[in-house]
Amino acid sequence: MSAPAKTRIAVIGAQGRMGQLACACIERTPDLELAARILREDDIGTCLRESSSEIALDLTRAGLGASHGRLILESGQRAVIGTSGLQPSELQDLKAQAEEAQLGCLVVPNFCLGITIQQLCARLALEFLPRSDRDDVQVSLEEQHHLEKIDSPSSTSLRTAALLEADGAPAISIRSERLEGVLANQTVAFKWGAETLRLSHQVSSREAFGPGILLALNHVQTLSGFELGLESAFGVRMSEEGTWGGFCPAP
């Protein structure tokens, strides 16, 4: 009996720290095959065609995710975009292109599973606040990242704020810092009446991103269009308006 076919993955930005981590994770996973390590100086379109990969994972620098996503979809491959800094108009363009091509395109602002859990917990907290208190609640976000991170506020904090505001939170202020000796931290704080609730997430090593990368590569294979974030991979249902519809069993 022949061995089951492996899903072929191309990693764009393979020379970076996140790219190296992704390559190592893929090589350790029995049902995945690292089809191509695409470097900064390479022609992405040519490399994708020659690699015969089925999924391309973009882990380059802020601002390049949209153009690389277009190239991936044009090549007939599914796309996982882990590069930050995509603008709303760029997300809409990728959504339209993915739906027209009927190819999975997953944009992931943060691969840490803990961040998705933090976001879900924050949304749950907002839902359980009494309506009388919710009118007076103050919600704030604090994020700290390493000095090399270009985008500020981070895509993660912008995504967290957007989710909460869509669920009815008042306008959320975001405080961003770039600090030496810090990798990635985010805290969501709710203040109402005489109470404060703080939900904090800290990352001490890039190894924390590995499980989320593998989850994204698995989940994008089930898609025939566009998704933002890993919520649905966790079994979370979104309404047509993009707001939270609660939990449903994961497939």
pTM: 0.86
Neighbours of 49 (CB within 10 A): 13
- Does residue 145 have an active-site annotation? yes
Question: What pLDDT does residue 193 have?
Answer: 85
Question: Alpha helices, DSSP H only, in the chain?
Answer: 17-28, 44-51, 65-74, 88-101, 113-128, 131-134, 155-166, 210-219
Q: Are 164 and 141 in contact (CB under 8 A)?
A: no
Spatial CB neighbours of 35, under 8 Å, sequence gap ≥ 6: 8, 9, 10, 51, 52, 53, 54
Which of the following is catalytic: 68, 145, 201, 219? 145
Superfamily of structural domain 113-204: Dihydrodipicolinate Reductase; domain 2 (3.30.360.10)
Task: Reduce the DSSP state of residue 121 to 3 states and report it.
Answer: helix
How far apart, in Å, are the Cα atoms of 113 and each of 49, 121, 199, 207, 214? Answer: 31, 12, 15, 12, 11
* pLDDT of the chain, 251 residues: tens digit per residue: 566 789 999 999 999 999 999 999 999 999 999 999 999 999 999 999 999 999 999 999 888 899 999 999 999 999 999 988 888 999 999 999 999 999 999 999 899 999 999 999 999 999 888 765 566 889 999 999 999 888 889 989 999 999 999 988 889 999 999 999 999 999 999 998 889 999 999 999 999 999 999 999 999 999 999 999 888 888 765 444 444 455 444 44
Sign of torsion over alpha carbons 221, 224, 230, 231: negative
Domain boundaries, the chain: 7-107+208-247, 113-204
Residue 24, token pair as written in the block:
């190592």
Catalytic residue among 149, 191, 201, 219: 149
Q: Are 60 and 18 in contact (CB under 8 A)?
A: no
The architecture (CATH level 2) of 7-107+208-247 comes to: 3-Layer(aba) Sandwich (3.40)
Query: Closest Cα partner for 6 from 233, 212, 221, 224?
Result: 221
Q: Report CA-CA distances (Å) from 234 to 79, 125, 210, 217.
A: 19, 18, 16, 14
